Structure 1
Amino acid sequence: MNYFALTSLYRSLTRHKFYAVLNIGGLAVGIAVFFVLALYVRFETSYEKWLPDHHKIYVVQSVWNTPGSPQDGAYNSTMGSLFEQLKEDFPDIVGTRIRSGPGSVLRDGVATSESLAQVDPSFFEVFDLPMIRGDGKRALRAPTAVVISESTAHKYFGGTDPIGQTMTIVRGTPASFRVTGVFRDLPKNSDFDYSILILLPNITSDESWFHWGNRSLETYLRFDDPAAARAFAGKLKPFVDRRGVADLGENPSARFRLALLPLDRVHLEPEGQASSSKKMQVVTLGLVGFLAFLIAIVNYINLATARAGLRSREVAMRKVLGAHRSTLIRQFMGESMLTVAIAALVGLILSELSLPLINAAGGLSLSIPYTIAVPVLLALIVIGGTIAGFYPAIMLSRFSAAAVLASARTPGGGRTGTRIRETLVVFQFSLAIAFIIATSVLVAQIRHVRQSDLGFKRDGLLIIRSFRNEQIDDARGRALLASIRRIPGVTGVAIADSAAGGSGSDSSINVPLPGVPGKGPSLRKITTGAGFFDVYGARLLAGRVFDDAHGGDDMTNRAKSDGQNIVINRRAVGTLRFRSPEDAIGKTVGGDEPRTIIGVIDDMRFFSPRLPNDATYYLFRRDLSSGAVATVRFSGDPRSIVAAAQQIWRRTAPQVPFAGETADRRLDLFYEADDRAARLFGIGAGLAVLIGVVGLWGLASFNTQRRIKEIGIRKVLGASSPDIVKLLVGQFMRPVLIANLIAWPLAFLAMRTWLAGFEDRIALSPLYFIGATLFAIGIAVLTVIGQALRASRAAPSWALRHD
């Protein structure tokens, strides 16, 4: 562009400041939304890519093909001895195991909880963690070696050299370890959260360690290239059939198989029966950012084509003076590029200013990497400028100089230009209405899962997971429970191997049915202690719950073959083929391990709303006091109850870190990801709708000004102000109404797919669609009516003299 062209652009922007602000402001907001959501997508898709050679690492998945079973699906964990068996059959493979879990460091008799992982000596051959001190590949050769993170080293050793220092680490029983290496703190874009690495013990006594289908830890393998990984994956089916037949029966690969999942896909891939909600969230938010940018571009095109007539005489004069059409196209394309460049700079500033708010709303820690941001902005300027400027440049450059100079009025693109602008308005409002529908459904579903009936009262519950620690034996567990019961405000304490918020074990078992061949349906099994149903306030549908009056309820000193009294939930009634809760009472199921149903309770949802609420049966062990989870029912201030329980714990078992949270907090962990996605979606969608509204307002303002003389003539011929308003508003409502025909199917398909990820979900009511349509119409009317009223009130004499 030459100096003349730059001067022309400057005069065009300064003569029509209002439209310049709308154009640049709309583009800037669209770019800011795109940029911020692109940062989120980049962060979520970068997990584990910080690891050197991450593309060579695969996690071994346990894949169950057992429809109707709670364990059906793929899991990123395997039995403990799988790697050892793989090494026996395939000696050349390179891999390691990771068993993560709670651990603690004992110092001065007080335990501090730390994230600890037990690994094989070959860990650093697979995961080449950046080391600060020591050699990773040699650091875990000794049984008492420990490798710690940089922050852990500073926490326990301050500024002194940690190499050679000793630490007392508790994972089961306390043991002394010597620090042999320090690795750099793991980044936030990692699902690995360990800060201490020790060697995995040689386990031979635990039968579950060798039982096919158990999931004790994670197994990782490293291959030189994808072809080698695919070749090895082809050997896994015969390996399962050869090794798993003893535990899984004939043809084990029909029900169970092993698969390899690339490490950089683990974060976005689902486990178990859950849908790929994380991946869908990332794709959806990326799409929102792209569409917000696209709506801003459409705004630019709309306003540029509408304003084309204002520059028609400029174009005509330049043609008369010898300018070629190609020269004019280059000028207007250059102006578009410069306009988008200004908007991109403003958008970058808006992004930087909004990131703290976005991070707070989404619980994120996004920042702008300028080494990447600048090239992306340049690409946006080129792509956005080309898309936004192409049609206006072609339309402006094709004006006939003679026709324009001879005409008493400036051209506006004719009927074709009007139809194109209407099409663009339809496109904008189709997206806007779809966004409004989606946002309302998102908010309604999140509110539903937070407020839905879980089958128990979630307020006033404290979940204490510390009882699962191996150092809490039965005697100490009973002493702790007795002390907690005496806390003022505590009304009940119960213990079980599962609790609200997904705490505890997750086990299921097949229950054979009388007269029905096969192993029977799979039910979740929960072992409870005294008072469990009273503490949770379970609703009894039929029969009774466990009590002391019936000695047969307690399984503490009884063999499974002696028979068990069980309580089942409502969902198990149909699963076990009973007609009603009352019909199930007194019936026996279980084959060689008879289970007599003594009661039926309503379903209690302890797990994620995205997972099925499984058929469940409950056992009773009165002396259950260790290796489980305690649930405390209380009234009053939760903080004081937690503090009192923590004080008792530190006094009675100081070598075991206290882990206690309210049930509300535990359940919130299930909702956090969806809450974050809903907030980000709402912000992005709201700004996208705002961009569309601003563009519509600018277009309405401009078109109304172009029709001042027409309005004056209509008023002279007898049209009233309401007639003029009805005419102008009606013409703008037509594309908005047409937009619903596109928006409704799009929103329906998208929301039906998203809601399918929830087992407990709202109905996709027509009210969401009707409400969004009315809201969009209301916005459009309010946007246009101000311009229409002002035009309708103008005196005809002034309107006819208007130029």
Structure 2
Amino acid sequence: MWRNYLTVGLRALAKNRTYAFINLFGLAIGLAACLLILLYVQYERSYDDWLPDAKRTYQLQVYYESKTNGDKFQNQGAPYVTKAALLKDFPQIESATYMGGPPLTLIKDGQATVVDDGRLVDSAFLDTIALPMAQGDSKALSRPGTVVMSESEAVRIFGTKNVVGRTVTLLTAGRKDDYRVTGVFRDIPKKSHLTGKMFARADFPSMFPEDNGYLTSWGWTSGWVYVKLRPGTDVATINGQFDAWEKRNIPDETFNGKKVNAGDERTFALVAAPDVHLGRATGSGMAPANDVQTIATFAVIALLILAMACINFTNLATARASQRAREVALRKVLGATRRQLMAQFLGESVLLATIAMLLALAVVEIALPWFGNFLDADLELHYFGHGGLILPMIGLVLLVGAAGGLYPAFYLSRFQPARVLKANKSASDAEGSGRLRSALVVIQFAVSIGLIICTAVIYAQNVYARSLDPGYKRAGLIQLAGVGSRILEPQADALTRAIAKVPGVESTGRTMIGVITGQTSNTGVVVPGREDPVDLGIYGVDAGFFPTMQIRTIAGRVFDERPADDMTTPVPEDPAAERALVARGGHIVINESGVKRLGFKTAQDAIGKTIRYGVRDEYGGMMNLTIIGVVADVRFRTVRAAIEPTMYLLDKHNVNWLVARFHGDPRTVRAGIEQVWRRYAPDLPFDATLADEIIARAYEKLDARAQMFGMFAILAVVIGCLGLFGLAAFTAERRTKEIGIRKVLGARTIDIARLLVWQFTRPVVIANIIAWPAAWWLMREFLNAFDARISLTPVPFIGASLLALAIAVLTIGAHAIRVARTNPVHALRYE
């Protein structure tokens, strides 16, 4: 029996090549898209599954929410002081480690290079995060002055993986020291929130003896804290105790005569290592993160495309009912039951899905390297073993076979032999089949129109984000990292003056905040007449910063060289100088958002006003800051982040970046700056990037998302048009006599073509009723994630609808004209 069914199914496909091609091609595209997205979703959800004891390894995250203005920030990092407090109060913790501090610089052959993802760690690092060691063990970092590196980093530095016992010279926190290599670990996979090619053992208390805030402040976050829980520990129990833990450990501070506690605005949580990548604090980690909504969106779109291919199968199968009606009737006359007929048609559907799956796998194998490179993911296709796709593929074949063949099986198997065989009548016009096909075409084109709208909106938002005025002149600006290094501090002024003399350089400035640097610093200030503190960003700059960035002055003035503006104090701290500065007071410049945050009506009203800023008690407790100028808001970060109400201080020691305004060839200017850098800082790596390049990198993910939606939209349109063409062909064939009669009665070719085109474009018009509201809701949510965004106008909706309609008319039009021009004699002759 099954052999007979297989033979009949193959013959049916061979007899109707157009039908077979449309179904196979459409299903193959849908299945290939579904498999590729399945691989991507599997990849994103398998982050850190390579890590031994991943389910017992947790990252301490801190969620900040201002009580005064509601600002929120979720941070994967945590203060250094939290590690000791966790170990003290939670015996369920087996080990804990801190990783952070300044970057590592490798000195080799007199040249300084930044170690990619080099990290400073404490002695418990390998006990807590069990990196797979190729050489050495978990005690490799038990002593200061030791280092472990990845196999690829060992080959890069030494040319071999066998490097245990060798020595590397590292520069960190202004100190140059030799470190002994005590272990080599296997390269950390790309699918990890944890990055690192070299981990150096540091003694943080001795490394930062004068930076008491780094070691003791609950508000200073410059690293990450990890813990490994003992087997059987319920992490929810620990997370539920963090409120009480904060009260026990975070000390009260006196601010403007009132007691405040940093814990009031912070919530702590332990997050399992595999959950960090798609977790709550996705924008503050070591590696680029993703979000659950994006993954879910792509998965849903892939399923929609697959559903469109199944709709094609259902539509074409019911449209071909006239060609199978006699077969069904004869089988029933010869004794076939409805269950046997349903099994036959479902078997044909599964056969078609199997052939399409084989074609889809060929497409996936070819497209996977490009697709993985496009998404910057190490995607691999395995059929068996852990993560193998053999079971999902079998499931997809059965699901697609059932989804595409279930209705046709019920529909075709219900034909009554007497009705079909009586007077040579066909049962293809059974009531309701035409309405169902129209409804399914509506769904197909609703998906297509919706994807086209989403693609247009995402692309428009991307263009807007790139072209939006950031508040400074981006063209002709180069940004240089590393000027805040302690080893460079004594020569920083001389370096800045030397770079300013490089041919092509017009001006220079130093700053603590630059173009998408990731730097965030804020503090509370007291405004006269208001009890609660007001949060402002606080960033040091020099006098050349505002002119170099070409930031517009709204009111007052910006910093110049007058001594009253300068709030720079010696490093290391000089208590006498600090107390003198607090007693004297300082000058600040604020931005327009700062004017609003502080409660002033206009920028001019803010000039000359004084606010109070908290400093350490031994230096005076509170310091008066006078506002001397207001500058335009500047978008230092991407358009996703809101512009921060900010105050700028003239503090030459509290800077990390140098910006230079130039004209001429960027490569020539950069080479000139590098020569100066090598002369003043031979032990520091040179890292200078054009502002335009920084912005381009920042929006790469948004570009990729727009392109992804574009590809999905194209696939959806192609599949929809395939189905539409097939339906048009079969319907025209079924209406051959009707068309002949219309021509005999005087209908013109254009009249008949218009009739056929309208029949199939009407569902496309109706599809807008579904597509528009769904796309509007999705894109509203998408745009709400941006601080600066385009308006959701009718243009992309109308444009997408007209494009889909034009594609549908072109798909059907040529075929309709060919059918309408057929000689009516051929249609009306006696069969």
Shorter-chain TM range is over 0.9
Q: Partner of 1:447 in structure 2?
A: 463
What's the offset of the Cα at 1:149? 0.8
Kindly provide the amino acid, as one letter, of the partner of residue 184 in structure 1: R
Secondary structure (helix, strand or coil) at the match of 2:96 reads strand
Higher alpha-carbon deviation: 687-696 or 719-728: 719-728
- Aligned pair count reads 796
Please state if 1:614 is matched with 2:644. Answer: yes
Q: Distance between the aligned counterparts of 2:335 and 2:9, measured in 1?
A: 19
- The letter for the 2-side match of 1:553 is D
CA separation of 1:160/1:184 partners in 2, compared to 1, >3 Å: closer, same or farther?
closer
Query: In the alignment, is the contact (CA less than 8 A) between 1:513 and 1:576 conserved in 2?
Result: yes
Q: Match of 1:187, SS?
A: coil
TM-score by length of 2: 0.91
Secondary structure of residue in 2 paired with 1:742: helix
Partner residue of 2:532 out of 518, 528, 550: 518
Aligned residue in 2 for 1:584: 606
- The 1:473–1:14 alpha-carbon spacing in structure 2 relative to 1, beyond 3 Å, is same
1:194 is aligned to 196
Helix, strand or coil: the match of 1:358? Answer: helix
Superposed, 1:755-774 pairs within 5 Å as: 755-774=783-802
Offset at residue 252 of structure 1 (A):
5.4
Q: Which residue of 1 aligns with 2:509?
A: 494
**More displaced stretch, 269-278 vs 66-75:** 269-278
CA distance in 2, matches of 1:734, 1:192: 53
Partner of 1:554: 566
1:402 shift after superposition: 2.3
Question: 1:599 is aligned with what amino acid?
Answer: G
Deviation at 1:409, TM superposition (A): 4.3
Distance 1:564 1:70 in 2: 28
**One-letter code of the match for 2:743?**
K
Superposed counterparts of 1:334-353, under 5 Å: 334-353=347-366
Letter in 2 for 1:611: A
Matches within 5 A, 1:320-469: 320-371=333-384, 372-469=388-485
Using a 3 Å threshold, how does the CA distance of structure 1 residues 524 and 362 change in structure 2: closer, same or farther? Answer: same
SS at match of 1:735: helix
Identical-residue share of aligned pairs (%)? 38
2:271 alignment partner in structure 1: 261
Deviations 1:310-341 (A, max 9, x none): 11112222222222222221111111111111
- Preserved CA contact (<8 Å) 2:567 2:649: yes
Q: Which amino acid aligns with 1:468?
A: G
Q: CA deviation at 1:131?
A: 0.9
Deviation at 1:698, TM superposition (A): 1.3
- 2:530 partner letter: V
Return the letter of the residue paired with 1:52.
Answer: P
Equivalent residues of 2:99, 2:224 under 8 A apart? yes
Residues 92, 380 of structure 1: alpha-carbon distance in 2 compared, 3 angstrom cutoff: closer
What's the CA shift string for 1:183-215, capped at 9, x where partnerless?
000101112221111223141542222111221
In structure 1, what is the Cα distance between the partners aligned to 2:781 and 2:320?
41
2:830, 2:216 → 1: CA distance? 90
Alignment of 1:238-253 (within 5 A): 238-247=244-253, 249=259, 253=263
CA distance in 2, matches of 1:37, 1:338: 23
Find the residue that maps to 2:103 and give its secondary structure: strand
The match for 1:180 is: 182
Match of residue 148 from structure 2: 147
Distance 2:766 2:341 in 1: 35
Q: How far, CA to CA, are the matches of 2:291 and 2:22 in structure 1?
A: 36
- Contact 2:473 2:549 (8 Å CA) reproduced: yes
CA distance in 2 between partners of 1:277 and 1:528 (Å): 33
Report the counterpart of residue 33 of structure 1 in structure 2.
33
Q: How far does residue 272 in structure 1 lie from its aligned partner after superposition?
A: 8.5
The answer (yes or no) to whether the contact 1:70–1:524 under 8 Å persists in 2 is: no
Distance 1:113 1:774, change over 3 A: same
The correspondence of residues 309-328 of structure 1 with structure 2, limited to 5 A, is 309-328=322-341
Q: Could you say which residue in structure 2 is the equivalent of 1:482?
A: 497
CA contact (8 A) 2:191 2:377 kept: no
Tell me by how many angstroms 1:734 deviates: 2.5
- The unaligned stretches of length 5 or more in structure 2 are 570-579, 614-621
What is the deviation of 1:681?
Answer: 2.1
Distance 1:627 1:618, change over 3 A: closer
- Within a 5 Å distance, the mapping from 1:782-801 to structure 2 comes to 782-801=810-829
Partner of 1:533: 546
Pick from 630, 633, 651 the counterpart of residue 603 of structure 1. Answer: 633
Question: Does the 8 Å contact 1:27/1:293 carry over to 2?
Answer: yes
Q: Is residue 2:206 matched to residue 1:211? A: no
**Residue in 1 that maps onto 2:577:** none
Distance 1:105 1:481 in 2: 24
Question: Which residue does 1:235 correspond to in 2?
Answer: 241
Contact conserved, 1:145 with 1:178, CA < 8 A, in 2? yes
Q: Which amino acid aligns with 2:604?
A: E
Residue 443 of structure 1: how far off its partner (Å) = 0.5
- How many angstroms does 1:728 deviate by? 2.0
**Judging changes above 3 Å, is the alpha-carbon distance between structure 1 residues 599 and 252 closer, same or farther for their aligned structure 2 residues?**
closer
Residues 78 and 188 of structure 1: is their aligned pair in 2 closer, same or farther, counting only changes over 3 Å?
A: same
Task: Report which stretch shifted further, 212-221 or 88-97.
Answer: 88-97
Give a deviation string over 1:229-253, Cα, whole Å, max 9, x none.
1111222211111211324845654
Pick closer, same or farther for the CA change 1:538–1:253 going to 2, 3 Å: closer
What is the distance in 2 between the residues matched to 1:393 and 1:594? 83
Task: Specify the alignment match of 1:670 in structure 2.
Answer: 698
RMSD after superposition: 2.3
How many Å separate the matches in 2 of 1:580 and 1:701? 69
CA distance in 2, matches of 1:288, 1:227: 39
Paired residue secondary structure (1:603)? coil
Q: Which amino acid aligns with 1:651?
A: R
Instruction: State the partner residue of 1:689.
Output: 717
SS of the equivalent of 1:138 reads: coil
Q: Deviations over 1:152-184 (max 9, x none)?
A: 222233237312112212222111121111100
Question: Partner amino acid for 1:787?
Answer: H
Residue aligning to 2:597: 575
* 1:143–1:735 Cα change, 3 Å: same
Q: 1:773 & 1:444 partners in 2: Cα distance?
A: 17
CA spacing shift, 1:361–1:378, aligned 2, 3 Å: same
Letter in 2 for 1:494: G
Pick closer, same or farther for the CA change 1:772–1:227 going to 2, 3 Å.
farther
Structure 2 CA distance for aligned equivalents of residues 311 and 784 of structure 1: 25
AA partner of residue 731 (structure 1)? Q
- Write the letter of the residue equivalent to 1:207: N
Question: What's the CA shift for 1:68?
Answer: 6.1
Which position in structure 1 is the counterpart of 2:523? 509
**After superposition, where does 1:615-634 map in structure 2 within 5 Å?**
615-621=645-651, 624=652, 627-634=655-662
Distance 2:295 2:319 in 1: 36
Task: Give the gaps of 5 or more residues in structure 1.
Answer: none
1:161 aligns with 2:185: no
The amino acid of 1:667's aligned partner reads I
Cα separation, partners in 2 of 1:771 and 1:273, compared to 1, 3 Å: same
Aligned-partner Cα distance in 2 for 1:62–1:48: 21
Distance 1:802 1:10, change over 3 A: farther
Moved more, 342-351 or 268-277: 268-277
Give the stretch that moved more between structures: 116-125 or 419-428: 116-125
Q: Is the 8 A contact 1:332 1:389 kept in 2?
A: yes
Aligned residue type for 2:202 = L
Once the two structures are superposed, residues 490-528 of structure 1 have per-residue CA deviations (whole angstroms, 9 ceiling, x without a partner) of 11111111111225x421122221211221x21111211
1:691-742 C-alpha deviation (Å, 9 max, x unpaired) = 1121112111211221111122223334333332332222223322221111
The correspondence for 1:719, drawn from 718, 723, 747, is: 747
Residues 69 and 523, structure 1, Cα contact 8 Å, conserved in 2: no
For 2:591, the aligned partner's letter is N
On the 8 A contact 1:361/1:680 being kept in 2, the answer is: no
1:692 and 1:547 mapped to 2: Cα distance? Answer: 65
> Residues 253 and 170 of structure 1: is their aligned pair in 2 closer, same or farther, counting only changes over 3 Å?
closer
Equivalent pair of 1:54/1:263 in contact (CA under 8 Å) = yes
